Amino acid sequence: MDLVLHVGVMICLYAILATSFNLLIGFSGLFAFGHATFYALGAYTTAILTQRLHLPFPIPLLASMLLTGGVGLAIALPSLRISGIYLIITTLALQVIAIDIIINWTSLTGGPSGLSGIPPLSIGGYVLSGPAHFLPVAFAAAVICFLVARHIGNAPFGRALRAMRENESAAASVGKNIFYMKVSVFGLAAALASVAGSLFAHYLSYVGADSFQVSETVLILSMVVVGGTGNLIGSVVGAAFLVLLPEVLAFVDLPQGFEGQLRLLIYGCVLILFLVFRPEGLLREPRRGGRRVAAGATPIALSTKTAFVGPLLTGTGLQKRFGGIVAIAALDISLSAGRITGLVGPNGAGKTTAFNLLTGFLRTDAGEIRYKGKVLSELKPHELVRAGIARSFQDLRLFTGMSVLENVLVALPRQSGDRLSALFLRPGSVRREDEANTAKAMGILEFIGLGERAMDLADDLSYAEEKLLVVARLIATEAEVLLFDEPLSGLDGAAMQKIIDLLRRLAADGKAVCIIEHNLDAIRNACDHLVYLDEGRALAQGDPNTLMADPELVQRYFR
Amino acid sequence: MELFAQLLVNGLGNGSYYALLGLGFGLIFGTTRIVHFAYGPVFAFSAFAVWMAGKFLGLPLWIAVLFGPAAASVGGAAVYWLAYRPFEQRGMSSHSVLILSLGLTIVLESALTLGFGPSIHTFPDFAAPIFILGPVFVTGLQLAETVTLLVLAVALTRFLQHTRYGKGILALGDDRDMARIVGIDTDRISLVVFALGSAISAVAGVFTLLNEGATPTMGFYPVFVAFVVAVVGGLGSIPGAIAGGYMVGLVESLGLWQIPTEWQNSIAFVLLFVVLMLRPQGLFVGMKR
């Protein structure tokens, strides 16, 4: 009986570890392979505080969470600079260093022999030793951690995390603060993992470095992969599955001392089998998007708030070099409300670089960018979006693994649910706000003509629909200056006319629209004003028909 | 000063060893972009192959060592053909391939432990000669490591530059899609790269066997060092791998001058962390082979 209860406790602890790890790899796409380090930190902090300092519950638990959460914030820093396989290797290296510290800092951690004789958990005078007493506590902790993770995962913050996973630059381009998201999700996942560590120390009354090796991280990873990345219930199922499996196979007779190896062998085989036969895991990532809102519930108001006189956005003397290559030599550009400006010129003229400079994706080497008269040269992309300047990408960069509705929803500005503090302090108002936002996003989709596809994955859209969704996402930012990088390329006549009509409508509502375009008919049809860019400078500006009749420009470009 | 000189010699010896690791791993990673964690168990497998050749077949050392690279190239090629290649053909992400590689590492290491037991296996009746050069000791193994490294580096350079397969490898490392478009059989080239890179790693594996003996988990640390060396030196660069190897060897060894011995392993990891944070593209990027 005790064995069954013990297995129950271990399932609870691993459920905590797997769900918190899923927040990192499944939701945020941050492949940081050091989760056992957070587990270890929680365990050792609790062990030292209860054994040496005799601190009563819940101080050791809270201290573990705080300390581990703090370390999590620090471990987020590599993820800001590097990604992909380099992040995996770096974090694995950090975990090896952490284990070395545990083994070598003997005076604090007991070194290779670990710390034993840790007092059992005692809450309000009740001593909870043995699996029978401990299981309810472990279960309660697992439920609370799961609910916290689910609350985050389903909130606007979780949606923003998934957008970041799908495409980091696109998430920044709709106003998400990548730095804040990475740091806070790391801190949070680390703090949750430390809860499992803290309980582990009390439960086994022993902590040693062996429990927290790289193989432990791989085990937690296996649980997430087996359960299904991006599905929190899956992580609980994965944890239960992989804890139970070796117990079920326990009848296999093996010489003493090999159980650990066999267990690893089983985990490794299960991981590989799942990767081969069911890479999405036992449970798929749920299709999210809020409750479907009645079509046309909220008519959208596009018109802009302020009547600013003069050009909304001006760039003066902009310059950008890459090494020895001058991409932008000296560019003056101004975008006015109510007008569609076309940015034209041959490939390599610096059009996209100009967009990157105007939207903060690249820093200018010289020159000044003013928005409504204020200098904005030092702002990051997400700050510029919030100020009112947004852009799209030539290669679309939709959040392909999310629903069409979510692609728009995530781009809406001023979402209080993007902040963890609001999520926990004012959950009710965050929920009401998100319901209103869902209706608003639905309104934008209806306006754009994608209402029917709201709950489909962006990945399943046709090319023309994808281009429409790009426009919808940009409208959702509520920015006043909208920069479209080739919104019309690759479209047939009807689809092209549809987008041109949308752009006209946006301009009529007071937005400053700028498009990069190559198709001469489309330019003549869509643009009020042309800027001809070549060799990194604006060679000519003015009325499209005049420019397109200029013999020199015809010679150079408009053949 | 004598301690310093001795640490310098040890650092150079270890540097040659690390450069061998980096050369093999860098060839695989630089060409195929697969983070081949299972390099570790394949490395251990090669050492056990040599050990078995000495123990059970009673072969003399100079014949037994040939079993190492042979076993490793078969093992490495099998891992590519049976595990990585099907994954790549299905268009799985590089993350999935890396997780697969971690899973394989665990399975293969456990299998080796179940097969050979966790204890240290040493080659029968082997003791490395030691030379005294003035104030310092140099072991025969340190000399052999350095000589093999130089011979292999020259041979590999010539192979890459002057043979059809070598040129295919360079093309694949440069641009995979373009290599495929111009009609290079990328699967076959990758197979050759895995066989070749694993064989080079086995040379280091044999030296580990002779130095300290073989264990099933002996490959865990070398994989990381190989990764450090390959990345520090700049991917796919032979001079880079050699420079990276000596850098890790010297930093690690000279670090012992001031840092207690038990931290030796951490030094390479800290170095990896610092390099990846400051210069993820490596120190010798752009250096041509």
Considering only the beta carbons, identify the residue of A84, A90, A261 that sits closest to B110: A261
CATH number for the domain running over B2-116+130-278:
1.10.3470
CA distance B173 to chain A (A): 17
CB contacts, 8 Å: A88 with chain B: 35, 95, 98
Touching check for B162 and chain A: CB below 8 Å?
no
The residue to which tokens 């060839």 are assigned:
B27
Residue A404: CB atoms within 10 A of its CB come to 30
Domains in chain A (CATH in brackets) are 2-249+256-277 (1.10.3470), 313-398+461-556 (3.40.50.300)
Residue A337 near residue A529 (C-beta atoms within 8 A): no
Single-letter code of the amino acid located at B109:
E
Subunit contact A275:B87, Cβ cutoff 8 A: yes
CA-nearest residue to A30 within chain B is B95
Q: Report whether pLDDT(A254) > 70.
A: no
pLDDT, residue A250, reads 67
Question: Any idea which residue has 């000495």 for tokens?
Answer: B54
Nearest CA in chain A to B37: A89
Q: Do B277 and A275 touch (CB under 8 A)?
A: no
Flag whether pLDDT at B286 surpasses 50. Answer: no
Q: How many CB atoms lie under 10 A from the CB of residue B75?
A: 25
Q: Is pLDDT of A255 > 70? A: no
> B267: which residues sit within 8 A by CB, 6+ positions away?
B251, B252, B255, B259
| Interface contact A268-B273, CB threshold 8 A | no
Contact A354, A514 (CB under 8 A): no
Determine the average pLDDT of the residues in A498-523: 91
Average pLDDT over residues B103-126: 89
* Residues B167-185: tens digit of each pLDDT: 888 888 888 888 888 888 8
Measured between alpha carbons, how far is residue B25 from residues A212, B4, B222, B225, B237 in Å?
27, 30, 10, 10, 11
Q: Which residue of B94, B105, B262 is in closest CB contact with A84?
A: B94
Q: Kindly report the nearest CA distance between residue B103 and chain A, in angstroms.
A: 5
- Both tokens of B283, joined, read 């120190």
Distance, in angstroms, between A84 CA and closest chain B CA? 7
Report the residue of chain B nearest A255, measured CA to CA: B114
Of B92, B266, B276, the CB nearest to A82: B276
CB-nearest partner of B280 from A82, A225, A279: A82
Interatomic CA distance for residues A176 and A157, integer angstroms:
10
Task: Give the ipTM.
Answer: 0.86
d(CA A295, CA A276): 42
The predicted structure's pLDDT at residue B179:
84
**Using CB atoms, which residue from B107, B118, B272 is nearest to A265?**
B107
The answer to whether residue A304 scores a pLDDT higher than 70 is no
Q: Give pLDDT tens digits for A447-462.
A: 999 999 999 999 999 9
In chain B, residues 25-44 whose CB comes closer than 8 Å to chain A: 35
Over range B77-96, report the average pLDDT: 89
Q: What is the DSSP letter of A53?
A: S
CB contact under 8 A, A89 and B272: yes
Residue B286, chain A, CB below 8 Å: the answer is no
Closest CA to A401 of A274, A230, A277, A232: A230
- A chain contacts of residue B103, beta-carbon cutoff 8 Å: 218, 222, 268-269, 271-272, 275
Among A215, A258, A272, the residue with its CB nearest the CB of B104 is: A272
E-state strands within A259-324: 313-322
**Confidence check: pLDDT of B13 > 70:** yes
Give B25 to chain A, closest Cα distance, Å.
14
Residue A486 pLDDT class (50, 70, 90 cuts) = very high
- Choose between A156 and B135: higher pLDDT: A156
- For the ranges A142-146, B91-95, B284-288, the maximum mean pLDDT occurs at A142-146
What values do phi and psi take at B257, rounded to 5?
-60, -40
Residue A514 has pLDDT above 90, yes or no: yes
The whole-angstrom separation of Cα A534 and Cα A532 is 7
Domain boundaries, chain B: 2-116+130-278
Residue A61 to residue A364: CA distance in whole angstroms: 48
Contact list, A218 vs chain B (CB under 8 Å) = 102-103, 106
- A378-402: average pLDDT: 93
Confidence of residue A558 (pLDDT cuts 50, 70, 90): low
pLDDT in tens, A155-203: 999 999 999 999 999 999 999 999 999 999 999 999 999 999 999 999 9
Q: Tokens representing A355?
A: 């967009």
Instruction: Calculate mean pLDDT across residues A235-254.
Output: 83
Residue A456 distance to chain B (closest CA, Å)? 23
Record: contact A104-B263, CB cut-off 8 A? yes
Tell whether B263 is within 8 A of chain A (Cβ): yes
Peptide bond into A58 cis (omega under 30): yes
A252 falls in which pLDDT band (50, 70, 90)? low
Only one residue has tokens 């003015």, namely A542
Residue B270 with chain A: CB contacts under 8 Å: 97
B82 in contact with A, Cβ within 8 Å? no
B110, B265, B277: best mutation site toward chain A, by most A Cβ within 10 Å? Answer: B110
Asked whether the beta carbons of residue A261 and residue B113 sit closer than 8 angstroms, the reply is: yes
- CA B125 to CA A326: how far, in whole Å? 67
Q: What is the pLDDT of residue A357?
A: 92
Nearest residue in A to B93, CA atom: A84
- Who among A86, A258, A269 is closest to B107 (CB)? A269
In Å, how far are B26, B174, B226, B231, B258 from B234, measured between CA atoms?
A: 9, 13, 12, 5, 29
The answer to whether the beta carbons of residues A482 and A513 sit under 8 Å apart is yes
Task: Kindly report the average pLDDT of chain A as a whole number.
Answer: 89
Chain B residues lying within 8 Å of A86, measured CB to CB: 231, 276, 280
Nearest CA in chain B to A79: B277
